[in-house]
Amino acid sequence: MTVPPQAEPPLLEMKGVGKDYRGVAALKNIDFDLRRGEVHAIVGENGAGKSTLVKILSGAVMPTRGEIRLEGKRIQIAGPAFARRYGIAMVYQETSLVPTMTVAQNLYLGDEKFFNRLRGTYIEAQQFLQSLNFPVDPTATVLSLGTAKRQMVEIARAVRLEAKVIIFDEPTATLTPEEKHHLFALIERLREQQVSIVFISHALEEALEISDRITILRDGSHIITDDAKSFSRETIIRHMVGRSLTDDLYGRAADGRQSRPAGEKVLSVQNLSMQNVVRNTSFSVFAGQVTGVFGLVGSGRTETARIIAGVAKRDFFHGGDVRFENRSVRYRTPRAAVGEGVVYVTEDRKGDGFFETMSVAENIYIGQISSRDSRGIVASLSETRALAEIWKKKLNIRALSSDPRVIELSGGNQQKVVIAKALVQRPKLILFDEPTRGVDVGAIAEIHHLIGALADDGLAVVVISSYLPEILSLSDRILVSRQGRIVEELSPDEATSESVMFAAVY
Amino acid sequence: MRPLRQALDRWLGRGEASITTPPMDGAFRPNDLLDAASTVIATPAPDDLADTTRGLVVSSGRSLLYVHRQAEAPAASFDAEISALAGLPDGGVAAGLVDGRIGFVGGRYEGKTIPASPEVGCITALAAARDGALLIANGSAAHGPSDWKRDLMEKNASGSVWRLEPASGARTQLAANLAYPYGILEEADSIVVSESWRCALTRISPNAGRRGAPLLENLPAYPSRLTRGADDAIWLALFAPRSQLVEFVLSEDRYRRRMIDEIDADYWMAPCLRSGQSPLEPTQQGGVRQLGVLKPWSPSRSYGLIARLDGAYRPTASLHSRTNGHRHGVTSCLASAGRLYFTAKGDGIVASCAYEGSTP
């Protein structure tokens, strides 16, 4: 990793840039500079101002104050088209592709020739994707692609526009380790071509691994910018939150917490099968415990949870049995499961977790409607607001206004809304799928405490996570999933990173 | 609607008709504790244990052996195989024989033999009641103890529980239509029986004369004898594992009938006390041996398992001998002097371990 010499003037410079929303400062007089051919990571808790900063750079919002300079010249990025003209491209966490169009059409969207020949476009797109080493079929519709491949198309589009600056917003959140490896190799190539990269990630190891410099924001303010090698995970977290959260997050050994004893058997999954994704898997879940499920991507964890909660269907013939409270159950819809106290908290909060254009109160009330004590769709405005207030207080949901739309919240607060929607349904069994994905460290600690408190209250809690420290610190028993089935059960005392990973891959 | 629903479930393999087995997790989380136990005696087919004033005894074929005094002559020998034992309050031991007779060794009834009766021909477990009577688990009305596999494959539920007055030899039936009662334990006002083919523990109220609700259902293996330790912990031996293949065979009536008629019982698709010893066994374990190593997690027809239950008959811990282990077919266990003794009938071993118990 080579850091360009400091003498060279920065490619992009922001001086005293700030942004106010309804008089509240989301970003306070930030100074930020980006050198030519460097990878610059921006890290901070959710709500720290990272998204606002990159939205200003990509032209999605206009700054309230301050100036931006590109190659020494003052510029005004009045919209996304301006940003593109200045050579600034953005790769979003949730891709901005048109799902019904093909990969090639998306690549050339807005840049079509007057007489457009589709075959030529496909050939050109094929060559271009191959040059990037992206295994994506240009004739496939985006709808048919998985998340990782959609992200590849998004990246390819930015590269095709010959951007000088490419901003990656949480690019690795949905990638497998292998895909992540490919992405890092691509970023390395872009760096060699003197493209400057702004890299936003909650995975601090990635920031430390890939970036030349790191800028840390907190509460809309600039805290520090320095070479990546002068940081450690510890120091980054300390700067991000103003205190050491490591123990709060993953410090089971430090606080000496004992595992919770098992209560009654609430759920017994017996020989459950779904095509070749879930293969004859069996396990039990007990009340008053957090059961952690670890497995690599594709090990069938999510699908198993979705079958239990009525979101997905098991095999039609001999698909196995799910026994909830000692009774064989087969939920055809999530509502039926919710009605009996089985609630699934999705890993894809933006797709399945909430209605982003509706308010927090409305979203929580929607959760209430499908619960056992619902009075149907008759909604009382005051009741809705009162309910929202209760849950906002309970889960510490923070927002700039009193009843914001969910889209206006930070990732951590959005996740809390999804959790509030689930808890308002008074579950007996709650299945959390990647509860802290794309969530900042401060919110992670809060969500972890909440999950622990639910188990303390006697609920049966299942936490599915790909992040080993999270599983090790949260769980009272750890189940390891591999190739569609639970292959190992470990107690927290005997579980180590090595033993869990060994069971997951061997 | 219900019969139609049941027929549909049977066809689709759903709901109660699904061919599934309960997971071995939670309190039944696999370990190697039975394999780690130290061998006390190696003897052919050790079956049941009992505590007497002269020490712990084990039944092995026709002989009653002292567990800790192997050099000595057997405590007793009978002219028929012993199928169950019970330690008596007076220090003697009652031995049920495969032909239905009950013999007494030591204690007040030393040398006495109670003749068989037509109703009780399959004594699988004995227990001494507090009032001096003997409780008898009669596994099946159709087959003897050695024919347990046939009883399972015929899906019989003809077992019964009896009360015997040793002095007079009078018998009273306490419960009937049980699915192979293989363990018996007296409670304050009831009797708890392990029903092997229902994979459950059932409470029987002798005064009410009927079977109560199951205390523990859906066990992952077929239960056998029950004993209570000095610390009031209840120990349950489970002699063979349930497997999806056997559950499937049990659901296929025509196939099962042909198998019973045409194939030798040793080679049936059925649970057994020790598998993997004959190349003629049904090839149920095709994928479990990799690079010559038998995988411990592979589905097997034999297994070693003991469960520790709390006062409410909830499993709290278990001891295992997994597929690759060598303590399979555990038919009885007994906690005595801080150690847990057990008979691995499939492997011909009586072993013991110091086990304090833990919650999962």
Looking at the predicted structure, is the pLDDT value of residue A262 above 50? yes
Burial A436-458 (b: 16+ CB within 10 A, else e): bbbbbbbbbbbbbebbbebbeee
Q: DSSP secondary structure string, B17-57?
A: G------S-GGG----HHHHSEEEEE-SSEEEEEEETTEEE
Looking at the predicted structure, is the pLDDT value of residue A94 above 70? no
Looking at the predicted structure, is the pLDDT value of residue A441 above 90? no
Burial of A505 (C-beta count, 10 Å sphere; 0-12/13-18/19+): exposed
* DSSP secondary structure letter of residue A259: P
Which residue's structure tokens are 């007296």? B186
Residue whose C-alpha is closest to residue A197's, from A75, A60, A78, A42: A42
Output B137 or A186, whichever has higher pLDDT: B137
pTM: 0.73
Q: How far is A421 from chain B (nearest CA, A)?
A: 30
Element (H, E) at A337: helix A334-340
Please state which of the ranges A19-23, A67-71, A173-177 shows the lowest mean pLDDT: A173-177
Element (H, E) at B316: strand B315-321
Q: How confident is the model at residue A39 (pLDDT cuts 50, 70, 90)?
A: very high
Mean pLDDT, contiguous 10-residue spans, chain B (360 residues): 80 83 92 95 95 93 91 88 95 95 93 93 95 95 95 96 94 94 94 96 80 86 94 94 92 94 92 85 61 77 94 92 93 92 96 67
Average pLDDT, chain A: 84
pLDDT (mean) for A197-203 = 83
Q: Do A270 and B15 touch (CB under 8 A)?
A: no
Cα–Cα distance list, B27 to A264, A292, B38, B317, B347 (Å): 11, 16, 23, 5, 25
Beta partners for residue B186, in sequence order: B191
Neighbours of B106 (CB within 10 A): 21
Beta partners for residue A32, in sequence order: A14
Q: Do B21 and A284 touch (CB under 8 A)?
A: no
B243 at interface of A, judged by CB pairs closer than 8 A: no
* DSSP secondary structure letter of residue B165: -
**Contact indicator for B171, B179 with CB cutoff of 8 Å:** no
| Token pair of A411 as six digits | 């990732």
- Report the CATH number of the B18-275+295-353 domain: 2.120.10.30
In single-letter form, the type of residue at position A497 comes to: S
Please name the residues between 298 and 317 in chain A that touch chain B, using a CB distance below 8 Å: 316-317
**Contact indicator for A207, A50 with CB cutoff of 8 Å:** no
Output A363 or B237, whichever has higher pLDDT: B237
Q: According to the model, what pLDDT value does residue A1 have?
A: 45
CATH class of this structure's domain A12-249: alpha beta
Q: DSSP secondary structure string, B93-115?
A: EEEEETTS-EEEESSTTTT-EEP
Q: Do A318 and B12 touch (CB under 8 A)?
A: yes
Q: What is the dihedral of CA A308, A311, A315, A321, to 10 degrees?
A: 20
Going across the sheet that includes B304-309, the strands are B221-228, B234-241, B304-309, B315-321
| Apex A408 CA angle, A407 and A413, nearest 5 | 85
Q: How far apart are CA A451 and CA B135, in angstroms?
A: 50
| Apex A90 CA angle, A86 and A93, nearest 5 | 170
Domains of chain A, by residue range, sit at 12-249, 252-341+427-505
Domains of chain B, by residue range, sit at 18-275+295-353
| Token pair of B58 as six digits | 């084990």
Looking at the predicted structure, is the pLDDT value of residue A460 above 90? yes
pLDDT (mean) for A50-66 = 88
- Residues from chain B that touch A271, judged by Cβ atoms under 8 A, are 18-21, 244
Q: Do B19 and A330 touch (CB under 8 A)?
A: no
Contacts of A187 (CB under 8 A, 6+ apart): A39, A168, A197, A199, A210
**Contact indicator for A75, A50 with CB cutoff of 8 Å:** no
B338 at interface of A, judged by CB pairs closer than 8 A: no
* DSSP secondary structure letter of residue A47: T
Q: How confident is the model at residue A22 (pLDDT cuts 50, 70, 90)?
A: low
**Contact indicator for A138, A119 with CB cutoff of 8 Å:** no
Looking at the predicted structure, is the pLDDT value of residue A254 above 70? no
**Contact indicator for B50, B87 with CB cutoff of 8 Å:** yes
Which of the residues A264, A323, A475, A483 would you substitute to probe the B interface, choosing the one with the greatest number of B C-beta atoms within 10 Å? A323
Q: DSSP secondary structure string, A265-306?
A: EEEEEEEEEETTTEEEEEEEEETTEEEEEEE-TTSSHHHHHH
Task: Report the CATH superfamily, name and number, of domain A252-341+427-505.
Answer: P-loop containing nucleotide triphosphate hydrolases (3.40.50.300)
Q: According to the model, what pLDDT value does residue A248 have?
A: 54
| Token pair of A166 as six digits | 């490419």
A327 at interface of B, judged by CB pairs closer than 8 A: no
Which of the residues B25, B31, B290, B308 would you substitute to probe the A interface, choosing the one with the greatest number of A C-beta atoms within 10 Å? B25
Beta partners for residue B353, in sequence order: B340
Q: Do B23 and A282 touch (CB under 8 A)?
A: yes
- Residues from chain B that touch A286, judged by Cβ atoms under 8 A, are 26
A115 at interface of B, judged by CB pairs closer than 8 A: no
Looking at the predicted structure, is the pLDDT value of residue A449 above 70? yes
B19 at interface of A, judged by CB pairs closer than 8 A: yes
Please name the residues between 145 and 174 in chain B that touch chain A, using a CB distance below 8 Å: none
Q: Where do the DSSP E strands lie in A361-497?
A: 429-433, 460-465, 477-482, 485-490
Phi-psi region of A380 (alpha: psi -120 to 50; beta: other; left: phi over 0): beta
Contacts of A346 (CB under 8 A, 6+ apart): A352, A353, A418, A433
Element (H, E) at A449: helix A441-456
Q: Do A328 and B13 touch (CB under 8 A)?
A: no
Q: How far apart are CA A364 and CA A392, in angstroms?
A: 10
Residue B252, SS3? coil
pLDDT (mean) for A41-45 = 84
Cα–Cα distance list, B327 to A70, B228, B305 (Å): 76, 22, 9
Q: According to the model, what pLDDT value does residue A69 have?
A: 92
Percent of chain A surpassing pLDDT 90: 26
Which residue's structure tokens are 């300079």? A69
Q: According to the model, what pLDDT value does residue B359 have?
A: 37
**Contact indicator for B165, B129 with CB cutoff of 8 Å:** no
Looking at the predicted structure, is the pLDDT value of residue A480 above 60? yes
Q: How far apart are CA A288 and CA A454, in angstroms?
A: 8
- Residues from chain B that touch A477, judged by Cβ atoms under 8 A, are 26, 360
B247 at interface of A, judged by CB pairs closer than 8 A: no
Q: How far is B161 from chain A (nearest CA, A)?
A: 27
Q: According to the model, what pLDDT value does residue A256 have?
A: 59
Residue whose C-alpha is closest to residue A84's, from A158, A33, A194: A158
